[in-house]
């Protein structure tokens, strides 16, 4: 399987890998997938969405297989209580793809990652209450604040419901914050990505 690794690191106890998405996928990538994933891929009508899905899942399964010492298709990926597929063979994982790349993270706690193009327009996201609050309190720009919010909401696993309920709990440092959703504590921190990208990782405390 040919892949271009753009970046790797570790944050908040989470192993992180960022790969460039290919223009097309081959049988090799499909061989990494489970039968259910291959079936889902076949149902995706847009070619680019199919490539993103197959490549992202293939990279994820290959990374997890190296940690677990098993063959990639055999890793059971199951949803959590909110329906988010993040349990894989005893590990917690999450992935995000944007701007022709995918960011994968895994660890022993519920985790969320978000990857955005550094040049993404900020007109709409800047209007989000929690984004503007983070910009002011954590000394980050709107894109960075948005990735912190998205990563946190994905760690919780409730999408927009989680975003609306997020509030700032503490500022640990620049781009490193503690958030709350109800009584749930979330730690989120920015990642040192290549210039084209902005990203963050979050875990449940």
Say if residue 34's pLDDT is above 70.
yes
pLDDT digits (tens, 9 = 90+) for 178-203: 999 999 999 999 999 999 999 999 99
The answer to whether 113 and 8 are in contact (CB under 8 A) is no
Say if residue 156's pLDDT is above 70.
yes
Residue recorded with tokens 């890793």: 75
Q: What is the pLDDT of residue 166?
A: 93
Cα dihedral 85/89/90/96 (nearest 10): -40
* Average pLDDT of the chain, as a whole number: 92
pLDDT digits (tens, 9 = 90+) for 94-125: 999 999 999 999 999 999 999 999 998 888 88
3-state secondary structure of 93: strand
- According to DSSP H, which parts of 10-108 are helical? 27-31, 35-42, 47-68
In whole angstroms, give the CA distance from residue 141 to residue 124.
14
Q: Using pLDDT thresholds of 50, 70 and 90, give the confidence band for residue 159.
A: low
3-state secondary structure of 158: coil
Say if residue 160's pLDDT is above 90.
no
Percentage of the chain beyond pLDDT 70 is 95
In whole angstroms, give the CA distance from residue 190 to residue 25.
30
Q: Within 10 A of 56 (CB to CB), how many other CB atoms are there?
A: 20
The answer to whether 118 and 131 are in contact (CB under 8 A) is no
Q: What is the pLDDT of residue 79?
A: 73
pLDDT digits (tens, 9 = 90+) for 58-98: 999 999 999 999 999 999 987 776 667 777 788 999 999 99
């Amino acid at each position: 399987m040919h892949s271009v690794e753009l970046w790797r690191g570790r944050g908040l106890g989470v192993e992180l890998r960022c790969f460039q998405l290919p223009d097309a996928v081959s049988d090799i990538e499909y061989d990494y997938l489970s039968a259910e994933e291959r079936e889902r891929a076949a149902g995706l009508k847009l070619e680019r969405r199919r490539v993103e899905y197959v490549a992202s899942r293939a990279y994820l399964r290959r990374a997890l297989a190296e940690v677990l010492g098993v063959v990639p298709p055999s890793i059971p990926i199951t949803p959590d209580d909110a329906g988010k597929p993040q349990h894989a063979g005893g590990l917690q994982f999450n992935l995000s793809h944007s701007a022709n790349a995918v960011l994968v993270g895994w660890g022993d706690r519920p985790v969320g990652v978000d990857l955005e193009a550094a040049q993404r327009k900020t007109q709409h996201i800047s209007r989000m209450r929690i984004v503007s609050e983070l910009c002011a309190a954590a000394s980050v720009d709107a894109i960075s604040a948005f990735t912190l919010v998205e990563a946190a909401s994905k760690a919780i696993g409730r999408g927009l419901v989680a975003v609306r309920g997020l509030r700032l709990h503490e500022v640990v440092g620049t781009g490193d914050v503690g958030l709350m959703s109800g009584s749930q504590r979330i730690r989120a921190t920015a990642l040192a990505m290549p210039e084209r990208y902005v990203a963050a990782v979050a875990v449940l405390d």
